[in-house]
Amino acid sequence: MIRVGSGHDTHRLAEGYPLVLGGVAVRHTKGLVGHSDADAVLHAVTDALLGAAGLGDIGDAFPDTDPQWKGADSRIFLRAALERLNLKGWKPVNLDVTVFAQEPKLGPVKAAIRDSLAHLLSLPADCVNVKAKTGEKVGHIGRGEAIGAHAVVLIEKA
């Protein structure tokens, strides 16, 4: 049995915050603002996994009104989602992620983000793909006001 899920997330960029994408610290003058560490890539991946298994969304599981998630490492959310999937017999097959950022240039960190995601999902590196797109200098992404991420995941049950 196989299922597919998709996830999308956007966070605002501002000075004075660290930039973490897919669990990887990325050097930049700005970072993402959110209740947790605002890792838009991990949030999109977590939503894709929950969606594929019919388990709702990241907001249901980890409400941003809950003080225990303030500044949280988003790897916690991903691992918790994977546990929920495992309890129902699901495991990831492959993951495809697109990150939308005008700045910084993500080419140099794409492989590190892929390796981080592969490690978190216990998948071989060739079952995880990370693509980077700019916002073509238009809209909130293109003006460098935000970074977005889109994820598609396939899961299977034996």
Contact positions vs Mg ion (CB under 5 A):
9, 43
Question: What would the DSSP string read from start to end of 36-48?
Answer: S---HHHHHHHHH
Q: Which is nearer to Mg ion, 9 or 48 (CB)?
A: 9
Are 74 and 39 within 8 A, CB to CB? yes
Nearer to Mg ion, 43 or 150 (CB): 43
Cβ 44 to Mg ion shortest distance, Å? 8
Q: How far is the CB of 157 from Mg ion (least distance, A)?
A: 27
Residue whose C-beta lies closest to Mg ion = 43
Name the minimum Å distance from CB 70 to Mg ion: 13
Contacts of 9 (CB under 8 A, 6+ apart): 40, 41, 43, 44, 47, 148, 149
Residue nearer to Mg ion on the CB measure, 91 or 140: 140
Terminal CA-to-CA distance of the chain, rounded, Å? 7
